[in-house]
Chain A
């Protein structure tokens, strides 16, 4: 088996960066993207500047990506943004931005990658949701709603892409210290962590463990699943 070719969106920082470095260390070839540049330099890392919230940008990106590789073994739809606000005060622009990146981005990348993923013997799509969905967190209505949509997409894509031997699953992290949750007050995070079965912050390693599980060839029969960290269900 040659090196796997894996596309990671939102690869410049946070969880996407940790996943990218892990895959590179395992010998995979990683195509990563984010809006800006990446300071990651590795012979098997290829960076693209893309706005996952824009359909035009995604279209151009996949055209360029197709020049770099004809096939992909996995697509990791990690790029995402959160928004904390009282529902009553959330402006339409926030809704648009969150849904464009989290939902439309996941939808379009999963669609555009189909031709390349089909060429893999173990094609994989891994999407990102959050424990805010099952916990129905106050103050995260739009973010949680966008991730509910991602969960439904995951399950339906699993059925349609099952015909092509591609699995589609999601991981729902509990709070992890990245820039995504920088704006959330510590007391709020602690409150959230106390609702988990295992009452502590998760780490990028906890996410990587699930990613490795979904990616391994032995997981050919695991699809349409959503796995939450920390014992949230």
Chain B
């Protein structure tokens, strides 16, 4: 989808996560931030919150995708590992919707 900066949408969603966190637990946001899994910064409910924020931001752009379906869960390498893997996964989901 031209004109939509997916990485920026993820960064904005992480900013929202930071709003809900105490000062000493702020996430350092970058392309290589590890999100979920080993050494990931998010707990499972924060991951849910992040995905919902991203889905909402995409809806604002008129794009409807579901990020937390079986497809995501069944990938051998989790798409939620880092900002980079998530960016790629969202791009793929937009290009080829599941249903």
Contact = CB atoms under 8 A, between A and B. Distances in A.
Interface in A81-112: none
A115 B45 contact: no
B52 A63 contact: no
B59 A114 contact: no
Given A160-B45, A163-B49, A164-B49, A115 B64 contact: no
Interface string A41-70: 000000000000000000000010010001
Contacts of B53: 115
Interface string A114-145: 11101000000000000000000000000000
Nearest to A118: B52
A160 B55 CA distance: 18
A163 B45 contact: yes
Interface in B47-68: 48-49, 52-53, 55-56, 59-60, 64
Interface residues of B, number: 10
A114 to B, nearest CB: 6
A58 B64 CA distance: 14
Contacts of B64: 63
Give the contact-size bracket for chain A.
Answer: 10 to 19
Interface string A16-38: 00000000000000000000000
A156 to B, nearest CB: 13
A63 B55 CA distance: 12
A118 B59 CA distance: 15
Contacts of B45: 160, 163
B60 A115 contact: no
Task: State the main secondary structure of chain B at its contact with A.
Answer: helix
B60 A70 contact: yes
A70 B52 CA distance: 13
Q: Which of A70, A160, A163 is the most central at the interface, judged by chain B CB atoms within 10 Å of its CB?
A: A163
Contacts of A63: 64
Contacts of A116: 56
Contact of B56 (A115, A160, A163, A164): A115
Contacts of A115: 52-53, 55-56, 59
A114 B56 CA distance: 10
Interface in B15-50: 45, 48-49
Nearest to B62: A67
Interface of B: 45, 48-49, 52-53, 55-56, 59-60, 64
19 contacts: A63-B64, A66-B59, A70-B56, A70-B60, A114-B52, A115-B52, A115-B53, A115-B55, A115-B56, A115-B59, A116-B56, A118-B49, A118-B52, A118-B56, A160-B45, A160-B48, A163-B45, A163-B49, A164-B49
List the 8 shortest-distance A-B pairs measured between CB atoms, nearest first.
A115-B56, A163-B45, A115-B52, A66-B59, A114-B52, A115-B55, A63-B64, A164-B49
Given A66-B59, A70-B56, A163-B45, 14 more contacts: A63-B64, A70-B60, A114-B52, A115-B53, A115-B55, A115-B56, A115-B59, A118-B49, A118-B52, A118-B56, A160-B45, A160-B48, A163-B49, A164-B49
